[in-house]
Structure formats: structure tokens, C-alpha cells
Amino acid sequence: MITAPQLEIAVLLLGMAILMFEAFATRVDKRVLAFAAIVGLALILIASFFVSPTPSPDRATGLWNFYTADKLSVFFKQFALLTTIFVLIMMIDYAPVVRASFPGTTDGLGEFFSVPIFTCVGLMYLVSAVDFIFIFVSLELVTVSFYVLVSFTRKNPVTLEAGVKYLVLSALSTAFLVYGIAWIFGATGQTNLQRITEALANPNTDHSAALLGVVLVLVALGFKIAAVPFQIWVPDVYQGAPTPVTAYLSVGSKAAGFVVLLRVLRPFVTLPQMQRLLVLIALLTLIYGNLAALPQGNLKRLLAYSSIAHSGYLLIGVVCLDGNAVVFYLAAYFLMTLLSFAVLVIVAQQTGEQISDFDGLAKRSPFLAFAMLIGMVSLAGVPFTAGFLGKFFIFYAAILQRQIALVVIGVITVGCGFYYYLKVVRAMYWQPANKAEDIPISGLSRLAISALIAATIWLGVYPQPILNMLKR
Amino acid sequence: MVTLGDYLIVSGILFAIGFAGVMLRRNLIVILMSLELMLNAANLSLVAFSRFRLQPSGLPDYNAQIFVFFIITVAAAEVALGLAILVALFRARQTTDVKDITQLRF
């Protein structure tokens, strides 16, 4: 029988093996490493379906003080593994750009393919963490490996600038996280979330100190999930980072941030101020993300603002404490975002990242244009796509909780979203092409994109499997 | 007698100085130093909380002190990478001033 901690150990060993192989195998085509990583992660993904969820007992000892293997965490371990596999597929397509930034050598590609595996370990630990110490360490494993990935093509000044901005603002959020944890420890004397809940139920606990602590922690998590007013880094870093890394940031890092947010907030919802604060953050995030996306001409930057907007919808689910709606939305968001980025990686190498570079894509590559179309309409929330049902469940949860302001602003901003997502569709289908030649796609990418298209539509028409998985 | 409050005030001041440094200074190396100051402010309050929360056995609550070791380790990793990125930036642009890295904008 496989237990959950073995999954992380397996991924860690895979990462180390690939890094070692990279160091000694100088003559091998480095893309072999990526294929090895994809196969290894896929095997671990299959193994993860044989893990039976075992939440930690109430009076846990040893590892189970820090670690839980409940069904939410097992689901998100699979989520992290799948994200990493798709990101590695995009990285293979992106390899020529990385190689061009290290002229004359093949250096760099091996690390480019192996660092994401360590990020994956961090994400997998993070979704299982139920103790602030463990949350901090695994969050830092994710963040530190992202420092490397974001500034990877360091000969490109724009990437380097994105790396510096990500470094400074992430480190700042880490400082807030640590200081917040210190105050929560000061108020409750505990770092385990379960015991913090018990301590907060005790009337002798200093609730104002705990509130200060949790607000500081919220600032730090706000950075990770790109909630207003902590979203400043998002557009610049998303635009400057290598495109597969941007996809990884916007899917993996954000999903893990939301899982941690759901876990961390649970002990503190009894504090009355928390709900009002979260409603305010959600409203600001919705409005800012959608309005700022309107004038964008660069598709990567557009997707950055769209990722802020989607954080707003996810925050509505968090305010209503509807874990299932949040998880379903994250699954939908995973499919449509990776789909858009997978097309962007391929097209951007031929033409560019501007929306005008997508002009006439339908003539040059009907397959890619169709994939982008599905991605965009799903992000906008057109019925029969995963994005629509995701928004539906979120708004349904908000209506049940009588959060009228959130629903009204949410629906208005969805309308706003239609404008900028369909701008891309218009460029692809109604504008004349700048160039005539076809765009080549590798077999692996074609397979990955087809799978994502199928899953996006399937989840929009028949969401029952995922819903059953969450209810179980 | 130094009380818990005194330690917390000092750590609050350190945190505020660090935060002001990150916000106001223009040199990236100074910004990194200010970030370290913020982390150390958190370490100071963790150790103070640990020292003043005695267990029934009369010993301090060591959980927080163990956490401090984790923070120190992670901060070292962060600085190592941060300086590497700064060196790359300096090679590319001959500057560590945040005013000069403004290619990405709205």
C-alpha cells in the first residue's frame, strides 16, 4: 500500500536523479531529461490514485503533527503533478528560446527541466501542511525554486527585471508571513492549525494579537494568490518570465496558495472582522483585475490581469468557505489557463506575444486557433465549458450565503471579461494574417493540447466525476 | 527586569525599519539587507514568545526556537539566490538601482 508521504519522496528522488544525471551526462540531448521527468511524474501520478486518504488523527504524533493526507490534499497532489507534467511539455517547446539565451553551450537546459520537479515537491508538501512551520518551509521551497525559474533566461534583460521584482516582493511577503506566524504563536502558543483552533475557542486567549497575526499572514498569502492590493508584481513578472514558468506560476503557485488560504482561515473565521476584510479584498480584486485587463495589447500581460481577476472569483468562494466550489474552479482554471499558455508558447516563438501577432491564426493553424478559442471562451465563462460551471458554483455559493454585493460585482465583471477575451478570438478569426506559412507543432504538444481541449469541454458538459470525487 | 513587551517593541521597531527600507531605499543590496532585518525581527519575537511561555516543567516552549532555525536556513538560501540574481543584473545593466530597471510597465 502506498502512503501519501511516499509520493513526495519519490518526486524528490526523481528530481535529484535527474539533476545528477544532468551533471554527468554532458553529451546527451538535454530534452531526454524532460521526457524522463514527464514519464517519472506520470508514474507517480498513477501511483497517487492508489493512495487512500488518511486525515491525521486528532491527537497526532510525529509527522502527522505537520502533515495531513485528507482527500483535499491528495486531490491537489495529483493537481500539482499534472501541472508539472504539462509545464514540462511546454518547456520542451520552449527549449530553443532558452538555448538561444546561453549562446555557444548547451548549459542551462538540464536545470530548466529539473528545477520544476523540486517546485512540484514543494507544492505537494504545501497542500498537505497543517502546521505553520511546515507551511513556511514548503512555501519557501516553492518560492525559492521559482526565483531560479523566473529569472532563468538571464541574458534577456526583461526576464532579469522580472526576476528581481519577484525576488524582492516574494521575500517581502515571506517576512510578513513569518512575523504573522510569530504573533499567532504568541497569542495561542501553538503552530498546529488544529491546536490553534482549540486555543482560539478558549476565552483567555488574546484574540487581538491573533487577529494581528492572521492579517499579516493574509498579506503574505495575498501576494501568492495575487489579490489586490498585493498584485503589483503580477503583470510585470508574468510578462517577463519564460512563458512556461508564467503558466506554472499562475496555475501551480496560485492553487497551492488557495489551498493554504482555505486551511489557514478555518481556525480564524470565528473572528468577526475576518469576513468583512475578505469581502473587501475580493471586491477590489475583481474590479481591478477585470478593468486593468481591458486596454492590454500583450497577451501574456492580459493573462496576468486575467489571473488577478480569477483570484477575485476564487476569493468569493473562500469568503463563503465553500471548499468544493473553490476546488472545482481551480480545476477549471487549471485546464483553461494551461491551454492558453500552451498555445501561446508555440505561437509566440513564430510571431510574438502581442494580440496582433495572433491575427489570422485560424488560417495558419486551425488547430491552435481552435485550442485558443476554447481556452478564451472558457476563461470568459461561456456555457458548456469548464469556466462557466466554475463561475456558476462560485456564484451559487455566494447567493446561498446572501453575499449580494459580491454576486452583483462578480456578474458585471464577467461581462467585462467577455470583451478582452473575445478580443483575442476576433484577432484569430476575423483579422487577415501577417504571414502565410503554417505553424509546426510537435506530436507531444498536439496530444497535450487535445487532452486539455477535451477536458475543458467535458468538465463543462459533464462535471459529475469531479463533483463525486470531492463529495466522497 | 526586561519584559516580553520590551522585546516585542524592539522587534516591532526592527520590522518597521526593515519595511521602510524596502519601500524607500533605491539600492537593491540595501533592499535585501532590509528584508533580512524584517526576518530577524520575526525571529526576535519568536524567541521572546518562546522564552516567556514556560511549560509546566519550567522549560521554554522550544517549538518556536526550532522554527527560528528553519527561518535562518531559508533566509540564507534566499539571500544566496538573491545575490546571484543581483550579480546577473549588474553584469547585464551595470546597475543595482531600482530606478533603472523599468522596462516592464503598463
How many angstroms separate the CA atoms of B77 and A65, rounded?
26
DSSP H helical segments within A49-108, as ranges?
Answer: 71-100
Which cell goes with A431? 483579422
Examine residue A378 and state whether it is found in any structural domain, yes or no: yes
Task: Quote the CA–CA distance of A209 and A204 in Å, as a whole number.
Answer: 12
A58-67, A349-358, B38-47, B58-67: lowest mean pLDDT where?
A58-67
Chain A residues near residue B81 by CB distance under 8 angstroms: 144, 147-148, 167
- Residue A59: the pLDDT is 67
CA distance A179 to B11: 10
Q: What is the mean pLDDT of residues B3-8?
A: 93
**In-domain check, residue A274:** no
d(CA B64, CA A85): 37
Total beta-carbon pairs less than 8 A apart between chain A and chain B: 122
Q: Answer yes or no: is B33 within a domain.
A: yes
Residue among A155, A167, A186 whose CB faces B49 most closely: A186
Instruction: Look at residue A104 in the predicted model and tell me its pLDDT.
Output: 64
Q: How far is B56 from chain A (nearest CA, A)?
A: 13
How many separate domains does chain A show? 1
CA distances, A210 to each of A2, B71, B91 (Å): 38, 20, 45
Question: In terms of residue numbers, what domain contains A390?
Answer: 281-472
> Residue B105 domain-assigned?
no
Cβ–Cβ of A172/B85 closer than 8 Å? Answer: no
Task: Look at residue A453 and tell me if it is in a domain.
Answer: yes
Range of the domain at B57: 4-100
Q: Is residue B106 part of a domain?
A: no
Flag whether A198 is in a domain.
no
User: Count of alpha carbons within 13 Å of A23, Cβ hemisphere only?
Assistant: 5
Positions of chain A with pLDDT lower than 50, given as ranges: none
Mean pLDDT of B4-25: 95
Residue A231 lies in a domain: no
Rounded distance between C-alpha atoms, residue A183 and residue A185, angstroms: 5
Query: Which set of grid coordinates corresponds to residue A307?
Result: 489571473
pTM of the shown model: 0.94
Q: Cell triple for residue A249?
A: 506560476
CA distance A151 to A362: 33
Q: Is residue B14 part of a domain?
A: yes
Higher per-residue pLDDT: A117 or B55: A117
Q: Determine, yes or no, domain membership for A78.
A: no
Residue A302 in domain: yes
- Cα separations in angstroms, A25 against A28, A471, B20, B80: 6, 47, 48, 27
Say if the Cβ atoms of A147 and B45 lie within 8 Å.
Answer: no
pLDDT one-digit tens code per residue, A355-397: 988 888 888 899 999 999 999 999 999 999 999 999 999 999 9
- Cα dist from A182 to A193, B40, B56, whole Å: 14, 11, 21
Instruction: Note the pLDDT of residue A106.
Output: 59
From the centroid of its chain, how far is CA A465?
A: 22
Predicted local distance difference test score (pLDDT) of residue A57 = 66
Q: Is 80 exceeded by the pLDDT of residue B105?
A: no
Give this complex's ipTM.
0.96
CB contacts, 8 Å: B50 with chain A:
185
Residues of A with CB under 8 A from a CB of B: 132-133, 136-137, 140, 144, 147-148, 151, 154-155, 157-158, 160-165, 167-168, 171-172, 174-176, 178-179, 181-183, 185-186, 189-191, 235-236, 239-240
Q: How many CB atoms lie within 10 A of CB A419?
A: 12
CATH code: domain of residue B52: 1.10.287.3510
| H/E element, A64 | none
Closest alpha carbon within chain B to A192: B63
How many structural domains is chain B composed of? 1
**Amino acid identity for residue B79 in this structure:** V
Select from B21, B32, B24 the least CA-distant residue to B99.
B24
Nearest Cα residue to A339 out of A458, A227, A431, A259: A458
Burial A423-460 (b: 16+ CB within 10 A, else e): bbbebbbebeeeeeeebebeeebeebbeebbebbbebb
Is residue A51 domain-resident? no
Rounded Cα gap, residues B36 and A80, in angstroms? 30
